[in-house]
Structure 1
Amino acid sequence: MKKKTNLVLVLCLCVALIAGLAGCGSGGSKADGQEVYEISITHLASESDPIHQGWLLLKDTLEEKSDGRFKVTIYPNKQISNSDNENAEKVQQGICQVSSVPTSSLASLGSIKEYQIFDYPYLFESNEELYTVLDSDLAKTWSAKLNDATGVTAFGGYNLGWCKIGSNKKVINSPADLKGQKIRTMSSDLQMAIINSLGANATVVNYGELFTACQQGTVDGMMTSTGLFLSDRFYEVQKYLACTDALGLLHVPIVNTAWYESLPEDLKAVFDESMGIYLDGVRQYEEDYEAAALDKLKENGMQVREYTAEEIQSFKDATASVYTAKANVAGQDTIDAVKEILGKK
């Protein structure tokens, strides 16, 4: 009986959401006699996370600059979806208009393999390098391919922070300490290859199920950004933290293209301007949060292992094989083009 009740509640939520969205762009309410365009934004993070703070900035900016002709509703904390891939699909289907998802989700959604370049280990060493590539003409060609293949438009991107490895087993002084541990990754071939190259066993778990998986011992540990360890309270179910920082957890804001193209030209201009303000803001929010998160994790009882340049070299050496074994994931031509932009061999 409980399962039936839960199913009915879920179906009711879906029906209510779709009904609410059906009026977007046509026949909706009016602001000063003009049509109101509703925007639904979905994301997985808690309301204390910079992801949510960024969407609040976008909501306020859109509603203010449009004089109320945009009405924005945010669905945080896995209210709509249980994974980033689901969020991407919701935007593609027009169930929600806006979200942000990891680049691996974009690669999966539209078979745009170039987006997976951001998951190669130790290719990027700073936010500046990430944004140099993400804002480049090369990345704009990937966005165009994504739009053509999926009907989803990408708007820049931002780094949630550098990926740490958590564990309940032991302090991770070197790759040898990860041997045999079940470490959760996203459903990214490259993230899985990184963990496997370190001697652990990569295990894919939906983000919405991850806290419970750590709590119940389904996995021994996980790899995600510093900020998410804090905002989603993984310090309660993970004892040790390794600052391996092999990659950033890059998110790309996406918009349903058909909805965007349905906007009047003046509201398109408002939307574009607001997205620029939002991106500047959320990039800074994430950078500030990352800077403070490590100390707060320590305060909450995590044993944090940081490394010297010499110590981190053992992780770089262990993961170097990913470039040869998985060059086809993003494509050798993409790897070479990105290295050229960054001035690396």
Structure 2
Amino acid sequence: MQSIRRLLSAGILLALFGAAQAQDVKPRTFTFGYGLNEQSNQGRAAKVFADKVEADSKGRLKVRLAGAAALGSDVQMQQALVAGSQEMMVGSTATLVGVAKEMALWDTPFLFSNTREADTLLDGPIGDRIRNKLKDKGLVGIVYWENGFRNLTNSKRPITKMEDLDGVKLRVMQNAVFLDSFRTLGANAVPMAFSDLFGALQASTVDGQENPYNTILSSRFYEVQKYLTVTNHVYSPWIMLASAKWWDKLTPDEQKVIVDAARASRDYERKDTREEAARAMADLKAKGMQVNELSFGEAARMRNRLTHVYAKIGMDVGMDLWIETQNELMNVRTSHHATEAKRPAPVEANHPVPAEVKRPVRKPSST
């Protein structure tokens, strides 16, 4: 009887000790950096991510959000991730081209006609393959978010034709494809971190910039930019990244919590971004911006001028990847057109389909 009592007492003590230990376990807090402000589409989606991580981990993981470029530019945060001094971030794919050359595929001017095509490629095997190229470089690519179709703003004049870009000092991302593209189109392209952009526009260090409507609005560029030209010249993705040094120390369960939360934030962010973009144009007009739309003919002239850029992208990312991408885009368009043919009326107005992806797939030098 005494031995039974001793066993019961020992069991109770062990249970109490285990409960005390569980209470003493502190949540693991990690930092998630982003460039835009808290009220932006990026900031709202970051909050969705942080809340879901904490809920799904039952408080064992917590996210410390750091927006408004508080931790530096995208490039600086990427370097911090590689070093292991920062855990996570979301930022542009364009600044990763120097890390993984395949990322340059997403910078191709007029690559996508609409968001449906972008989602299909980014979330499919092509997007996964490019994202996975980062692991050997000290980064873990988790999901792609949407920045959106990029459009031009400037303080000098409306851009109605390609020649209007001549002499315009245009800030572009620190990315060779963007620099080459806009210099080819006649602009004086200047590479600059996003965190420095508003001040440069305010001081007239640069005349203009190019970004999606949402970013133009949330960053208050309308205060220092008079003209907005709807060009939809590049679909711009963001990518959620983790430090490989930190990621490899997480348990499989912890990694799953983060991946699930990342996917939920991606779905939220894309929906939010697209709804906001539809409202942003009206807001920008109301705030005094003069808006014009680049004609189809002028967009075609720009595409034709960029032939050597397409050739270089194909060579840089690899011809197999380039051709696979063009074939996948044709499959998406063919499938969509077949579906639409069964409908009584069109349901969506697409962006103009670039000439180089309408034709049969060839090497970029022939586009």
TM-score by length of 1: 0.85
Match of 1:137 in 2: 125
In the alignment, which of 325, 329, 353 is matched to residue 342 of structure 1? Answer: 329
Match of 2:106 in 1: 118
Letter matched to residue 66 of structure 2:
Y
Match of 2:97 in 1: 107
1:1-345 to 2 correspondence within 5 Å? 32-81=23-72, 83-108=73-98, 110=99, 112-148=100-136, 150-343=137-330, 344=357, 345=361
Q: Which moved more, 1:302-311 or 1:97-106?
A: 302-311
Q: Deviations for 1:39-61, whole angstroms, at most 9, x for unmatched residues? A: 10111101111101011001111
Match of 2:350 in 1: none
Deviation of 1:200 after TM superposition, in Å, equals: 0.9
Deviation of 1:180 after TM superposition, in Å, equals: 1.4
* Contact 1:113–1:331, Cα closer than 8 Å, also in 2: no
Partner SS state of residue 70, structure 2: coil
Please list every run of 5 or more consecutive structure 2 residues that lacks an aligned counterpart in the other structure. 1-20, 331-356, 362-367
Letter matched to residue 176 of structure 1:
E
How many residue pairs match? The answer is 312
**Counterpart-to-counterpart distance in 1, 2:132 and 2:160:** 43
Q: Which moved more, 1:318-327 or 1:231-240?
A: 318-327
**Counterpart-to-counterpart distance in 1, 2:35 and 2:93:** 15
**Counterpart-to-counterpart distance in 1, 2:249 and 2:26:** 12
Letter matched to residue 71 of structure 1:
K
Match of 1:8 in 2: none
Deviation of 1:258 after TM superposition, in Å, equals: 2.7
**Counterpart-to-counterpart distance in 1, 2:264 and 2:303:** 36
Question: Root-mean-square deviation (CA), in Å?
Answer: 1.8
Partner SS state of residue 266, structure 2: helix
* Contact 2:110–2:235, Cα closer than 8 Å, also in 1: no
**Counterpart-to-counterpart distance in 1, 2:96 and 2:103:** 7
* Contact 1:244–1:315, Cα closer than 8 Å, also in 2: no
Q: Deviations for 1:183-231, whole angstroms, at most 9, x for unmatched residues? A: 1100111111221122111111111111111111111111122211110
Partner SS state of residue 214, structure 1: helix
Q: Percent identity?
A: 27
* Contact 1:173–1:305, Cα closer than 8 Å, also in 2: yes
**Counterpart-to-counterpart distance in 1, 2:193 and 2:168:** 18
Partner SS state of residue 143, structure 2: coil
Letter matched to residue 199 of structure 2:
T
Letter matched to residue 270 of structure 2:
R
Partner SS state of residue 140, structure 2: strand
Partner SS state of residue 187, structure 1: coil
Please list every run of 5 or more consecutive structure 1 residues that lacks an aligned counterpart in the other structure. 1-29
Tell me: CA distance 1:31–1:280, structure 2 relative to 1, closer, same or farther (3 Å): farther
Tell me: CA distance 1:144–1:290, structure 2 relative to 1, closer, same or farther (3 Å): same
Tell me: CA distance 1:170–1:259, structure 2 relative to 1, closer, same or farther (3 Å): same
**Counterpart-to-counterpart distance in 2, 1:320 and 1:238:** 30
**Counterpart-to-counterpart distance in 2, 1:78 and 1:284:** 23
**Counterpart-to-counterpart distance in 2, 1:326 and 1:151:** 24
Tell me: CA distance 1:311–1:138, structure 2 relative to 1, closer, same or farther (3 Å): closer
**Counterpart-to-counterpart distance in 1, 2:51 and 2:287:** 33
Q: Which moved more, 1:241-250 or 1:330-339?
A: 330-339
Letter matched to residue 76 of structure 1:
G
Tell me: CA distance 1:305–1:275, structure 2 relative to 1, closer, same or farther (3 Å): same
Tell me: CA distance 1:337–1:115, structure 2 relative to 1, closer, same or farther (3 Å): same
**Counterpart-to-counterpart distance in 1, 2:113 and 2:22:** 47
Q: Which moved more, 1:210-219 or 1:323-332?
A: 323-332
| Bigger Rg over Cα | 2
